[in-house]
Every structure is written in C-alpha cells, then in structure tokens.
Amino acid sequence: MSMTKSFIPKTINHDLQKERLASTFDVEEFAAWWQGGEQKLKTKREIERALFADLDDGYGINHEYMSHEDLYNSAVKKVAEATPKLKALQQKMNPGGKDIWPGGLLSVHAHGLFPENHPLATHISMFVDVVKGQGTPEQVEKWGKLAENCNIIGTYAQTELAHGTNVRGIETRADYDIRAGEFVLNTPNLEAYKWWPGGMGHTANHAMVVAQLYISGKHKGIQMFIVPLRDADTHMPLPGVDVGEVGKKLGMAAVNLGFLGLKNVRIPRTNMLMKYAKVDRDGTFTASPASRVNYLTMVYTRCLIVNLNSTLLLQAATIATRYSAVRRQSPIEPNEPEPQIIDHVTQRLKLFPEIATGMAYHLAAEHMWELYNQTVLDANNGKFDRLPDMHILSCALKVLCTTDGCAGIERLRLSTGGHGYHIAANLSNIYGNAVAAYTYEGENTVLLLQIGRALVKAWASYKQAETPSSSYAYFETSMRLKEFPKWDNSWQCIVRALQYTAAHKTRIAFENLSQRIAAGQSQAVAANNTGIELTRAAELHGRQFVCQTFVEQITGPKAQQRSAALNSALENVVELFLVQTVLNNLSDILRFINLTDADLRSLQQRLELSLEKFRPNAVAICDGFDFHDRVLNSVLGSYDGNVYPRLFDAAKRSTMNQRPVQKSFETYLKPLMKASL
C-alpha cells in the first residue's frame, strides 16, 4: 500500500454530533439492553479495545489490493496473530469459558479482525458444535477439546456438486466393512464431490462428512463421519483424498471454500458420530430414536444465520444512516441551503424500515435460541416432539431474514448514491457475505416448500379436529371467525390480520392441493403444481411469527427493566415494522379482510408518522448497536462522520497511486495516443 499520511480530522462531524444531541433516549441504556446487560456491554468494549488497539490504518482495506493467494495467506496470518490475544482475554475475563476463545473467531469482533473473512468460521460454527452436540461422551472427549483449541481444524461437508438442499439425494457413500471394523468412504462420481465447505480448500485437516450409510449392502440412512483429510505434520492430502478450493466467489474472499473427493478412504468405526444412531462392531445398526434428530444441526446453523444476517443488515443500516446525516443535497425549498439527505422523506423510507427489520430479526433469533436450548434439553432426555416445529420455524426465519436482509442491504447501498459503490464503503462486502446465506443451509425456495408442506399437513390435522401444536394455534383462532373484525389499528389487530391471512392462504393451498390429487395427480406432482400457493402461505406463516415475537419482546415483562424514554423509541420501531409489513402484504390481506379506504389511508399516515418520529433517534439507535469502527470498516459509516476525508484517504491508499505514471503508458497507451490518423 502507499504510505499515505492520514489527514482525517480528530473531531466529529457537526451534523452527526447534532443528531446525537437530539436523541430522546439514553444511547448507553439502549446499548446495554441490546448487548444483554451493562456487564456484557462493558466486556464487549474491553475486548474490542484489546483486539483493535494495535491495528494499522490500512488494516481494513489492504487486502482489497492483494492477489487471491496472498489474501488467503494474509487471513491465516491474522487468525494466528489474533489467537494469543483471544486466549489471553479468555483467561483474563472468563477463565474456562469459550465465548472469547474460540468464540471470538465467530463473533462480531471477527468482522473487524478479519475484514476479508477467514477460513476457520465453519470449523467454529459447525464442526466443533456438531461434535459436541451429536458425538458420544467418548467422541467429545477425543475430538471436542482438540477442535475447540484448533489443534485440529475441521469443516462440515454436506453439500455436493450436484446436490444441495435435497440432503436425501447426496451420493457420497460410507460402506461398513464388518471384518475390519471400518467405514470405507467414496464419492462415486464427479457429481458426488463435496462442494462449498468453508475452510475445506487448504485449511481444514478434518471434515465432518455427511454420507449415505450402507451395511452389508443395505441402506441405513444419512449419517455423519469424522474424516481426516491431511497429514498432521506436512498438511499434504492423505491417500484417496482429492481436496482443493472452488475458486473466487462473489463474497467471503478468504473463507477458502473447497471441494472434496474420496476414493476408498477408510476410517475407524468410532469416527461415525453415535450419540443417537449407532453401529456396533458386528455391524448391528441402531437407528436414531427420532428420524429428524439430525435437524438439530440445521436448526442450530439457521439460528446462527439469522443472527449473522440481521447483524449485517444493521451494520449496513448504520453506515447508510450516518452517511445520510452527513451528506447534504437537493434543497427541499428552492432557495434554502441543501439539507441533510436524511430530511428527505423518501430517504427515510430507504433507511428506517431496514433498521426496524434488522431489530425484528435479531430479537426473533434471540427467542429462537431460547426455544433451541429447550429443544436440546428435551432431546437429551429422549423427548423429540419439539423438533418438527423448531425445524419449520428455523426454516421460516432463515428464509425471511436472508431474503429481507439481502434486499435491504442493497437498498441501503443504493441510498448512499455513488459513494456506496466504493469498496471502502464496505457495503459491497457486507452484501457479499450476507447473500451467500440465501442459498446455503437450504435454498430459500426449497425451504419455503418444506414449510408449505408442513402447513398443509398441520391443516389436515386441524380439519380432523386434532389440536394443532403451538406454532399453528392461530389456525383455530382465525377460522373460528366468520369474518375478520372491524379494523381497529392496534398492534394486536395487525398480528391477528397476518395470522388470519396466513391461515386462509394455508386453507387455499390445502384445498387446491386436494383438488389436484382428486383430479388424478400424484401427491408429488400436485405439490409441485401447488408450489406458488405453498410458498406464499409459508412466507406469511413466518411473517406472523416475526411480528408477534417482535411485539412480545418489546412490550413483554422485559419492558419494565427499561426507561419510559427508551420504550417509547422502541415502540415506534415496532410500529414502523408492523405497518410496513401490512403495506407490503396488502395484496394477500385484502383478499380476506375488508379494509376500507379510510383504513388504508390511516396505514399510510401511520407509516409517515412513524418515519417522522424515527427521524430524531435514527443515528442514536444505530449508535446503540455499538458497532466498532473496525467492525463497520466503512469510510461512510465511521463514528466521527468525516466521510469526505476518509473517502479521499482511501483513494490515496490505492496501489495504483504509488506511481504517477503506470508502466502500461510507455508500452501501450503512449503508442496508441501517438499513432497517426
């Protein structure tokens, strides 16, 4: 990088400071609430001071000018350099815990430590937790501690070149050799190669391989196997292992996503995770007590995805909101000075709903973690009745959060105009990281179809007078009504309206599916032909859950722990989210609910009023998320608001600016310019 002397002011931009002074609530109170308490906020900030204090000025952008290979090696170096810091902090602040080491490799701090991402994320987020969650005590003892300390590095290898969301269709085989007491793993063709596992390329030396188990030629379903990939000393691929990187992607530059082929790779019998399903030495197979217990891994991962993508959306919203408070353009009154662009109502509509959306999904994820932890406790005690509902809810949240989050990040990038196109704005990187989740851990349309099938199944049970589970309880309360009550503008009315609409969309999907089957179509063909109705019902099922959860999280018992001023600001966020959700889904709502012109005008007025009430608190709310400047890594979103000096500073750091004339001038450009006509 060019050795540019920074000329960024040490002061805070006047307009941004003015916004902070106009806030109606205490930002520190918001930040403590958002982080889960004052002590957690204090700990977070202490960790950030320790991790970020010695990073140089160009730390967040240098990688943008590296080659693909250099960028990967730089990321590995950063992980190695961060490790002793994280371990020391863990020992100092929470001895024996895992939240800082290795948890810090996956936390929000990692966004600042590893701006190009890093190749150990899948190891921490999946490999370690799958071993601990689905391994026997002996397997956890053997592999868990080594993995947690990164003495071995793993990845999670499920997706194949030709099979992704349809897990049942994967072709990788694990055949049990009874005589040797070993599994023999093979990818029988190119299509069966594992594809996309994070860190697989050149980092992981083990993989959690998801494969079809066969014993004496009989299929025993999908199981998980710990497979060594590389020599512990030389890191060279082991015999029968064909492993490498898939190449450059839209985002996640240093994640080192890889491919894996296996040819007659033998592993001990005890390398199959056997907390639930088991294979004895003599080949006796004991099936898992619940056929869907493996969904626990996917539920866990989808909760992580909602946490991550809501955070990325809020990072983008913070950047765009701070920039909108600094940028001045386009006078509202012709002869007046240029206003802050945040004063334009249309700009507010681009910004504030995304803040509300990010908060709604964040709180929904927190609620889901509570449900997940209870489900794990139940599973450990042999109770698996929660699993189906947890699977469907996690699918719905994953779909909606990634769909809304990715669209929102792009809207926020567009809201920053041309400057948002600059790589130093970091909005393109945030988008690249977020949009991958639209596909991984279940492509969104496929997940919606899964939810839709679960809905019509639940509807069939409801029609047979069976009591629905809590996730579908709104079927009964909605269908008890001959028609929806008069619109009263309350939040409860909005939630009930979404539930009523979701119930009727499910009813229609069920009726049309049934008609197609009655007309002679097979169940599968009928389901395919009902796909549009199924996916729409599924989306509305998810949206009513998010809205109901958001209201409960803000107005429930926890509200008593917050000040009236903060609650007032948060309630306006809920108001904006609910009204915007209704307006975005009017085509379905109006099909079943008779809203008058006055009702519709009222909703528009409520939208505009909530945007107006949001205006003085927008910057303060974003401050309350407490994203460190290193985490945002954006010239547009820095806390000090010095947008233009930071943009110019980033430009001066370009490697192209190390010399005034590029070598191509003499070789190509000059001859071109001097050529005769």
Cite the annotated binding site by residue number.
Answer: 159, 198
DSSP state of 559: G
48 annotated active-site: no
**Residues contacting residue 28 through CB under 8 Å, at least 6 positions apart:** none
Amino acid at 153: I
**CA 426 – CA 572 distance, rounded (Å):** 29
**CA 558 – CA 391 distance, rounded (Å):** 27
**Vertex 299 angle, CA 510 and 404, to 5°:** 70
Output the DSSP codes for 165-225: S-GGG---EEEEETTTTEEEEE--SGGGSEE--TTTTTT-SEEEEEEEEEETTEEEEEEEE
**CA 255 – CA 118 distance, rounded (Å):** 5
Closest residue by Cα to residue 226 from 247, 203, 208, 246: 208
Q: What are the tokens at 278?
A: 């088991």
Q: Which of 48, 245, 354, 441 is catalytic?
A: 441
Tell me the CB-side half-sphere exposure of residue 633, using CA atoms within 13 A: 30
**CA 441 – CA 556 distance, rounded (Å):** 32
CA 568 to chain centre: 28
User: Which residues on adjacent β-strands are paired with residue 260?
Assistant: 194, 243
Other CB atoms within a 10 A radius of the CB of residue 558 amount to: 11
Cite the annotated binding site for FAD by residue number.
Answer: 159, 198
Other CB atoms within a 10 A radius of the CB of residue 464 amount to: 7
Collapsing DSSP to helix, strand or coil, 35 comes out as helix
Q: What are the tokens at 671?
A: 């001859």
Output the DSSP codes for 72-103: HHHHHHHHHHHHHHHHHHHHHHSTT-STTTTG
Evaluate whether 316 touches 637 at the Cβ level (below 8 Å): no
Active-site positions read 441
